[in-house]
């Protein structure tokens, strides 16, 4: 038996065989029957899609995968991305909420909050209040999608001096965001427990952002969560008709 070249197995996945990534056709199949025709995205650099290339993956933000899947079943889809990097949740609310509502969306994806946990002064209660202030009117406009944060434990590029405290902060913010999302009946994605959060392969070398694989994973989880909401809503309609 020959010697195994460990290097061959260092990065076994590409977009085609990644178990945590759906291809465009698969995403479209999951969202068959989707009612949404006006998508607005608000938030920080995650919403904007700041990234870097990863071999084997399209160099596209997560939003491209979601938009492609939706447009396959809703060719009339209109979309607007207001996301801008370096914003705290309060700044997202102040600079993007009005424009988001003016777009008259029926689907809103709000990705923000990490910057609240990266500042020297950390106030989780204030952050939760900002989640409430931002998410409540967005949820009244249409279906709202929110997401917790990947665990940075697998990010080798994150400054090790601050990794433990940032992990604790992001976990706390994720819990508070989930509480707000559940109260509003939003579609919430628990990325804290996602297996890829412990892998180097999703992180950009800047130590902060997702790379092309991470973008594909996040887009996939949003599609799957929306598909689960479609199933739930369909079941509710069926029960109501009996």
**Residue 4 lies inside a defined structural domain of this protein:** no
**Residue 14 lies inside a defined structural domain of this protein:** no
pLDDT of residue 1: 34
Q: Distance between CA atoms of 9 and 4, rounded to whole angstroms?
A: 9
Per the structure, the count of domains in the chain is: 1
**pTM assigned to the model:** 0.92
CB 56 within 8 A of CB 14: yes
How confident is the prediction for the chain on average, in pLDDT?
A: 93
Spans in the chain with pLDDT lower than 70: 1-11, 237-242
pLDDT of residue 223: 98
Encode pLDDT of 77-92 as tens digits.
Answer: 999 999 999 999 999 9
pLDDT of residue 3: 38
Paired tokens of 91: 């700044």
**Residue 44 lies inside a defined structural domain of this protein:** yes
pLDDT of residue 236: 73
Residue 158 sits in a domain whose CATH number is: 3.40.50.1110
**Residue 237 lies inside a defined structural domain of this protein:** no
**Residue 239 lies inside a defined structural domain of this protein:** no
* Segments forming the whole domain that contains residue 39: 21-232
- Taking alpha carbons only, the member of 98, 101, 106 closest to residue 38 is 106
- Taking alpha carbons only, the member of 209, 9, 221, 17 closest to residue 114 is 209
Q: Distance between CA atoms of 239 and 232, rounded to whole angstroms?
A: 11
Residue at token pair 């990794």? 163
């Amino acid at each position: 038996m020959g010697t195994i070249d460990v290097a061959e197995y260092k990065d076994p996945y590409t977009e085609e065989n990644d178990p945590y990534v759906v291809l465009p056709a698969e995403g479209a199949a999951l969202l068959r029957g989707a009612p949404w025709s006006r998508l607005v995205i608000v938030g920080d650099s995650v919403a904007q899609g700041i990234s870097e290339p990863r071999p084997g993956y399209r160099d596209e933000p997560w939003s491209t995968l979601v938009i492609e899947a939706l447009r396959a079943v809703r060719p009339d889809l209109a979309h607007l991305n207001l996301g801008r990097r370096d914003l705290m949740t309060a700044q997202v609310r102040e600079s993007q909420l009005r424009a988001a509502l003016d777009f008259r969306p029926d689907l809103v994806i709000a990705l923000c909050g990490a910057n609240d946990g990266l500042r020297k002064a950390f106030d989780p209660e204030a952050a939760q209040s900002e989640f409430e202030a931002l998410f409540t009117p967005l949820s009244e406009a249409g279906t709202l999608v929110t997401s917790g944060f990947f665990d940075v434990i697998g990010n080798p590029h994150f400054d090790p001096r601050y990794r433990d405290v940032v992990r604790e902060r992001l976990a706390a913010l994720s819990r508070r965001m989930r509480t707000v999302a559940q109260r509003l009946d939003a579609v919430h994605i628990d990325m804290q427990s996602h297996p890829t959060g412990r892998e180097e392969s999703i992180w950009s070398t800047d130590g902060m952002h997702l790379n092309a694989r991470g973008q594909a994973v996040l887009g996939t989880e949003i599609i799957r969560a929306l598909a689960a909401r479609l199933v739930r809503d369909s079941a509710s309609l069926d029960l109501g008709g009996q």
